[in-house]
Structure 1
Amino acid sequence: MTKRLTLCADDFAQSGSISAGILQLLDAGRLSATSVMSQSPHWPALAGDLKARARRADIGLHFNLTHGFDTPAKPLSHWLMKSQLRQLSQPALRDEALSQIDRFAEHFGQLPDFVDGHQHVHALPVIRDALFDAILRRWPQGQRPYLRAPDKLGHPGDNRLKSLILRSVCINFNEQAQEHGFATAPWFGGMYSLSPQADFAGLMQAWLARAPDQALIMCHPGLPASDAEDPIAASRSREFDYLISDAFGEHCRRHQVEIGRFQPAAVAA
């Protein structure tokens, strides 16, 4: 039986090379979603290219607190510690979420189909409440974007400790999101070390085999680039090469996987 998976490329608009790679994969039908870093100075110029592909893919917001663009950003360690200690300002975080949502919509012409987070910050305590509040202030009554639930991680990739930490710091996110009326995928995959030595093709085959129908898998492809500000640039090009290849298409067929847009109603049913 064929199963439908949403394959989402993170970090659209972080750089030109990342965005160009994602656009090529969307055109090839190898992705069905991408999430946008709307703070990026590249976003206004790239929004039109993505809008032209909106019928074939879900376009979401990649909520960001850790990657600096025009202003410095705090590292993930800061948000991990402060969120667990509940030492964050929810109103300030809500305003930041509203700013990123509004900048997305200003250039894309509509609200995001979904929201996830750079380094999963959207699912941390306090931050998640601020995000829920921001979404309720912007979306019309009865409408919601779907959300990525990192605590539904179903495969540890090549780093069990990293996956254990992710699930623990995001605990109960899925339950709370659904209590607020948000749809989430029942299974999440794509977590790994992001090392260029990692066997991404082998890991993807494991995710394709393990994932149930309506699962969500993230990836981080991009075209080759010497970007000193991107610590995973080498891994991005390896991911791109595999995802564009005939081998990936064959692996999807072997595991009876159809790459398609997320269907919240099917998940909720």
Structure 2
Amino acid sequence: MTKRLTLCADDFAQSDAISAGILELLAAGRLSATSVMSQAPSWASHASDLKAFDGKADIGLHFNLSHPFGDQARPLSHWLMKSQLRQLSRPTLRDAAAMQIDLFCQHYGRLPDFIDGHQHVHALPVVRDALFEAIVQRWQGQALPYLRAPDRLGHPGDNRLKALVLRSVSTGFDDGAREQGFSTTPWFGGMYSLTPQADFAGLMQQWLARSPDRGLIMCHPGHLAMDKDDPIAATRDKEFRFLASQAFADLCGQYGVELARFDKAAPTTPLAA
């Protein structure tokens, strides 16, 4: 039995090396989605490269508050603490989301298919409500994008504490998004320590085995580059090489996985234990 899986590469446009690796995997049919950091200086030059995959893969926005592309960026710890204390400005966050949506549209020529978040900031309290408002403003009655639901995490990867924290800080995101009329990903995988020592191939096998139909797995591939602003550069190269390999293709065949765009029309099923 075939099951559809959306395999999404995060961080497109963060750097030339990351974008080049993602484009290669898209061309090889080893990805079915990618999310864009629209604040990145290289987005303007790489947007046209993604056009070749329009309609073949989902192209979304990777909403960012923590990567240092602008003066408003703060470490993830800042957003975690302030969101839990409800000490964030909703209008300011709404404007930040609208600005990143506009930058996406400016260079890609249309609205994104979906929205997720760098380090999952889109799902934090207050941030999520500001994002919902920005989307409604910018879509103006058009079919809404689907959203990645981190609280639907279905596998802890190799770091149960990290998984527990994510589920905790994003609690209620899926319910809140669907109440607002958004389609959400019913199962989410791909979280792990993001270290070069991690067994990415072994974890991918577990994610492919566990994922139900219409699941989504995030990944972070890219070509190896010396980038002081990218602490996971070596991990990206390891992910790229595995996803480009025959071993990955064989695993997809073994578990009946078909890489596909996300189907917003299908019903959401309960989260598997």
Q: TM-score range by the shorter chain?
A: over 0.9
Deviation at 1:36, TM superposition (A): 0.2
**8 Å Cα contact 1:150/1:170 also seen in 2:** yes
Matched, 1:9 2:43: no
Secondary structure, counterpart of 1:264 in structure 2: coil
Is residue 189 of structure 2 the alignment partner of residue 194 of structure 1?
Answer: no
Q: Secondary structure of the residue that 1:229 maps to in structure 2?
A: coil
Please state how far the C-alpha of 1:267 moved relative to its aligned partner.
Answer: 3.4
Matches of 2:268 and 2:208, distance apart in 1: 22
Q: Which amino acid aligns with 2:232?
A: I
Q: Please give the residue correspondences for 1:1-269 in structure 2 after superposition, counting only pairs within 5 Å.
A: 1-71=1-71, 73-268=73-268
* Unmatched segments (≥5 aa) in structure 1: none
Identity %: 69
Looking at structure 2, the residues matched to 25 and 184 of structure 1 have their Cα atoms a distance apart, in angstroms, of 24
Give the whole-Å Cα distance in 1 for the aligned partners of 2:79 and 2:197: 28
Aligned AA for 1:184? T
Secondary structure of the structure 1 residue equivalent to 2:110: coil
Q: TM-score, normalised by structure 2?
A: 0.97
CA distance in 2, matches of 1:91, 1:144: 21
- SS of aligned partner of 2:266: helix
Aligned amino acid, residue 242 of structure 1 = F
Residue identity matched to 2:62: H
Alpha-carbon distance in 1 for matches of 2:142, 2:29: 31
Between the aligned partners of 2:217 and 2:35, the Cα distance in structure 1 is 12
CA distance in 2, matches of 1:85, 1:33: 34
Aligned-partner Cα distance in 2 for 1:64–1:228: 18
Please give the per-residue CA displacement for 1:177-210, whole angstroms capped at 9, x wherever unaligned: 0000000111000000000000000000000000
Q: Which amino acid aligns with 2:137?
A: R
Q: Is contact 2:56-2:261 (8 Å) kept? A: yes
| 2:140 maps to amino acid | P
The change in CA–CA distance for 1:19 and 1:170 in structure 2 (over 3 A counts) is same
Structure 1 residues 72 and 94: CA distance shift in structure 2, 3 A: closer
Q: Are the counterparts in 2 of residues 185 and 267 from structure 1 also a CA contact under 8 Å?
A: no
Distance in 2 between residues matched to 1:156 and 1:70, nearest whole Å: 32
Q: Is the 8 Å Cα contact of residues 22 and 222 (structure 1) preserved in structure 2? A: yes
* Root-mean-square deviation (Å): 1.0
Shift of 1:18: 0.2
Q: CA deviation at 1:142?
A: 4.8
AA paired with 2:74?
K
TM-score by length of 1: 0.98
- CA offsets per residue over residues 100-157 of structure 1, 9 Å max, x none? 0000000000000000000000000000000000000010315100000000000000
Distance 1:268 1:192 in 2: 25
Q: Is the 8 A contact 2:65 2:72 kept in 1?
A: no
Give the distance between the partners of 1:37 and 1:71, measured in 2 at CA: 15
Please tell me whether the aligned partners of residues 186 and 268 of structure 2 are also in contact (alpha carbons under 8 angstroms). no
- State whether residues 214 and 267 of structure 1, in contact with CA within 8 Å, keep that contact through their aligned partners in structure 2: no
Distance 1:147 1:70 in 2: 24
Find the aligned partners of 1:80 and 1:151 in 2 and give their Cα distance: 15
Count of residue pairs the alignment pairs up: 269
**In 2, distance between residues paired with 1:226 and 1:207?**
29
Give the deviation of 1:226 after TM superposition.
Answer: 1.2
* Aligned partners of 2:61 and 2:112 also within 8 Å: yes
